[in-house]
Amino acid sequence: MSFTSMGEAHRRIADFLNRFSEAVSTQDGASLKSLLSVSSNSSLLLSLADDLNLYQDWSRLVKQAERNSHTLGEILVPHLRCVQSYRSGRFVEAYAAFEKSANAFLQEFRNWETAWAVEAMHVVAHEIRILAELADKELASLGKNPEKLQGAGSFLMKVFGSLAGKGPKRVGALYVTCQLFKAYFKLGTVHLCRSVIRSIETAKFFDFEEFPSSDKVTYMYYTGRLEVYNENFVAADQKLTYALMHCNSRHEANLRMILKYLIPVKLSIGILPKMSLLDKFHLTEYTNIVKALKQGDLRLLRRALQEHEDQFLRTGVYLVLEKLELQVYQRLVKKIYIFQKQKDPSKAHQIKLDVIVKALKWLEIDMDVDEVECMMAILIYKNLMKGYFAHKSKVVVLSKQEPFPKLNGKPVSS
Amino acid sequence: MISSEHPFEIIHDFVFDRTRSIRQDLSIQNIIDEHAIEMYEKMVEFHIISHLKLAKSHRDPDNSSLHYLNMEQLTKCLLSLYEIYDLNRSPEFIIKKENEFHSFYVLLHLGRKNSIMKESLSLWFRHLSSQILLSREMRFARTLLSYFRMGNYKRFFAILAMEASQLQLRLIEPFLNEVRVQALSCINHSGYKLQPYPLELLAELLMIKEHELESLCCECGLQIITDELGCKLLPAKQSNFHHPKSDLESYSLTTPVKFHR
């Protein structure tokens, strides 16, 4: 460990302050970025923190440097306090300081007309979220109410507001939107994103194609997930497929995240993925579900749902997968129909409810005739089967033409 | 609260206002301990009982908005209660009724969504602990909801009979007719014209008195016929089927079975 003298610490702090004001006056966004990313644990900021701890009177240095610009001081003093607190692991303090700094930065940012500082603003947006999450963890561990991420969300909304307009800064809006998504998804208050989504999608200022590709992929991923939670499968398919198509093929972790949601959507519209895809991306939790759909194996579906119940609930796809039962029933009845067709084609379209009861018993599923009748009524009602059920004869009579309509990319009718 | 001197709506109004002021006080004073929990739980119970009573007293058309407002308040209370549960969570402090009270939020999804339910249920589940999600009461609510979503009226009523607690049943009861109407719609659509459905059996499946089922069919525009033995039957493929014109008329029908827990 090298011994740092007060003088050296003093010099390095002054150095940092100079770099900061240089970056602003020369409109050097790239340099400014690196000075702001507190959570990156860069050696620059870590050693700066040590220097600040050593040279306790550093705020005086900031005031001296302020002869260039008074407002930079409003940004720098809390920023340095944040760097210091972060280093010591005092995240609630770090967040409070950063929030102050960020607000001051935003005020300045609004005055800069060109887009030179957009990337730096992005770093601020990213950092405030990360620091808020750390602060909330600290608060929760102390038995206090974790409300910093909520505050960060409000700040991000303000940032979004500063980017929504006709000026050149607007291409930065989608990145901030994604930070908002990440924050609100974590908080579980996703409905707060609605106004932002509307802004982006009504194209008053924004041309979606202008945004950077990676932001577009992230955006479609999150909005796609929202559609999954709201069970709008056609929209979900559209958005998640976009994300999949435009995602860098080398980012396997991201592809996997997209597929995690896209697969249940595809299953809901009658499209089954290849087993090789599931294997390649380690999405084996879906393997038995796909098998169950292929084979009409109700028992396998239920087992798979039970086995991965917690995981599916965490991801938020459990309710979607549950609904697949109807398609499994359809497949089961179809298999019986095909079997009967082989034995006696002229009578194949009439299936005794007792036969279905037996088939289910063979799958260790206990269903009485009334329930089977109920399920047949539903399958017909939802157009998964064409025909009718005859109560007295205890038989389901299938249409001679296309008795089991395929979904063909459309979800089961409600 | 159960006094027969005054019409329920007046009592409800009075208590409703009181509970709302209590909630405001609790939140302003930031009272979040076990006493708050107790109070919120009592308020939720009040709203559930009101929920059923308001549903039954269908004569006054104003009641539908009262009913809706009550459901909103119930939802608000529940959501506040869950926050307080979270704040009080610790290894020493066991929250006794947590599982049941969480199940109420799931069961509310049997009805139409109200304005307080801003997030989808899938999203709500993501933030619950496994301990709550996999508890008996939650499992029951989730299973009931899945039968509802699938349209499996047979299992829906069967499981209701076997597993619902008193409060859960009170909460669910006003939604039962919607489930029954769905069943009628399904049977009418998929049944065979020449083999009408015996009403007695259907009433058993839908846990409703036969004569009340007959009224419900009537409200849906469905005709009932009687065979030579005097048995009532529901013919299928009737083109006049429609959803009951007014929500309120249906609420007079109740389940014949009494559940105790």
Task: For residue B56, tell me if it sits in a domain.
Answer: yes
Output DSSP code: residue A132.
Answer: H
> With contact defined as beta carbons under 8 Å apart, do B151 and B182 qualify?
yes
Of all residues in chain A, the percent with pLDDT exceeding 70 is 98
Task: For residue B214, tell me if it sits in a domain.
Answer: no
CA A365 to CA B48: how far, in whole Å?
36
> With contact defined as beta carbons under 8 Å apart, do B108 and B117 qualify?
yes
- pLDDT tens per residue, range A70-102: 678 889 999 999 999 999 999 999 999 999 999
Is residue B50 within a helix (H) or strand (E), and if so which, with residue range?
helix B34-56
Task: For residue B210, tell me if it sits in a domain.
Answer: no
What pLDDT, on the 0 to 100 scale, is given for residue B261?
34
Query: What is the chain B residue with the closest CA to A388?
Result: B190
- Does residue A395 sit in helix, strand or coil? strand
CB contact under 8 A, A377 and B191: yes
CB contact under 8 A, A317 and B122: yes
What pLDDT, on the 0 to 100 scale, is given for residue B250?
46
Task: Give mean pLDDT, residues A210-229.
Answer: 96
Q: In a 10 Å sphere around its CB, with 0-12 CB exposed, 13-18 middle and 19+ buried, how is residue A127 labelled?
A: buried
Q: With an 8 Å Cβ cutoff, is B153 touching chain A?
A: yes
Beta sheet of B232-234, edge-to-edge order: B197-198, B232-234, B225-226
Task: Give mean pLDDT, residues A321-347.
Answer: 96
| CA distance readout (Å), B88 to A92, B36, B43, B44, B135 | 21, 10, 18, 18, 19
* Residue in B16, B122, B111, B117 with CA at minimum distance from that of residue B72: B117
CB contact under 8 A, A390 and B125: no
Residue B202 distance to chain A (closest CA, Å): 10
- pLDDT tens per residue, range A350-367: 999 999 999 999 999 999
- Does residue A52 sit in helix, strand or coil? helix
Q: With an 8 Å Cβ cutoff, is B196 touching chain A?
A: yes
CA A37 to CA A46: how far, in whole Å?
11
Q: Find chain A residues with C-beta within 8 A of B134's C-beta.
A: 309-310
Query: Which residues fall within 8 angstroms of residue A265, CB to CB, at 6 or more apart?
Result: A228, A233, A236, A237, A240, A320
Its domain, for residue B152, covers 8-173
CB contact under 8 A, B195 and A391: yes
CA B46 to CA B148: how far, in whole Å?
26
Residue B75 distance to chain A (closest CA, Å): 16
Q: With an 8 Å Cβ cutoff, is B125 touching chain A?
A: yes
- What ipTM was estimated for this complex? 0.89
Task: For residue B179, tell me if it sits in a domain.
Answer: no
CB contact under 8 A, B186 and A377: yes
Which band of pLDDT confidence, cut at 50, 70 and 90, is reported for residue A257? very high
CA B76 to CA A368: how far, in whole Å?
41
- pLDDT tens per residue, range B91-108: 777 788 999 999 999 999
Task: Give mean pLDDT, residues A67-72.
Answer: 70
- B128, B154, B190 ranked by CB distance to A380: nearest: B190
Count of domains for chain B: 1
Three-state secondary structure of A157-181: HHHHHHHCCCCHHHHHHHHHHHHHH
Q: Token pair 């007046």 is at which residue?
A: B10
- Domain coordinates in residue numbering, chain A: 3-208, 226-323, 326-398
Task: For residue B137, tell me if it sits in a domain.
Answer: yes
Residue-by-residue DSSP string for A307-372: HTHHHHHHHT-HHHHHTTHHHHHHHHHHHHHHHHHHH-TTTTTEEEHHHHHHHHHHTT----HHHH
Mean pLDDT of chain A: 93
- pLDDT tens per residue, range A2-42: 566 888 888 899 999 999 999 999 999 999 999 999 999 99
Judged by CB atoms within 8 Å, which residues 217-246 of A form the interface with B? Answer: 228-231
CB contact under 8 A, B192 and A313: no
Output DSSP code: residue A284.
Answer: G
Q: With an 8 Å Cβ cutoff, is B231 touching chain A?
A: no
What pLDDT, on the 0 to 100 scale, is given for residue B72?
92
- CATH placement of domain A326-398: 1.10.10.10
What pLDDT, on the 0 to 100 scale, is given for residue A2?
55
What pLDDT, on the 0 to 100 scale, is given for residue B35?
83
CB contact under 8 A, B192 and A388: yes
- pLDDT tens per residue, range A282-317: 999 999 999 999 999 999 999 999 999 999 999 999
Residue count of chain B: 261
CB contact under 8 A, B189 and A190: no
Here the CATH number for the domain that contains residue B29 is 1.25.40.990
Query: Which residues fall within 8 angstroms of residue A340, CB to CB, at 6 or more apart?
Result: A347, A348, A351
List the pLDDT tens digit at each of the 261 positions of chain B: 444 456 667 777 777 777 777 777 777 666 667 788 888 999 999 999 888 888 776 556 666 788 888 999 999 999 999 988 888 877 777 788 999 999 999 999 998 888 889 899 999 999 999 999 999 999 999 999 999 999 999 999 999 989 999 999 999 998 999 999 999 999 999 999 999 999 999 999 999 999 999 999 999 999 999 999 999 999 999 999 999 876 544 443 445 444 433
Helices B176-190, A369-381: axis angle to 10 degrees equals 80
Task: For residue B100, tell me if it sits in a domain.
Answer: yes
Which band of pLDDT confidence, cut at 50, 70 and 90, is reported for residue A58? confident
- A228, A378, A392 ranked by CB distance to B152: nearest: A378
Task: For residue B114, tell me if it sits in a domain.
Answer: yes
* Residue in A171, A184, A172 with CA at minimum distance from that of residue A226: A184
Q: Token pair 């595809």 is at which residue?
A: A266
The strand pair at B232-234 and B197-198 is best described as antiparallel
CB contact under 8 A, A378 and B195: no
Task: For residue B183, tell me if it sits in a domain.
Answer: no
What pLDDT, on the 0 to 100 scale, is given for residue A165?
83
Interface probe for A, chosen from B102, B120, B124 (most Cβ of A below 10 Å), is B120
Q: Token pair 């700040």 is at which residue?
A: A155
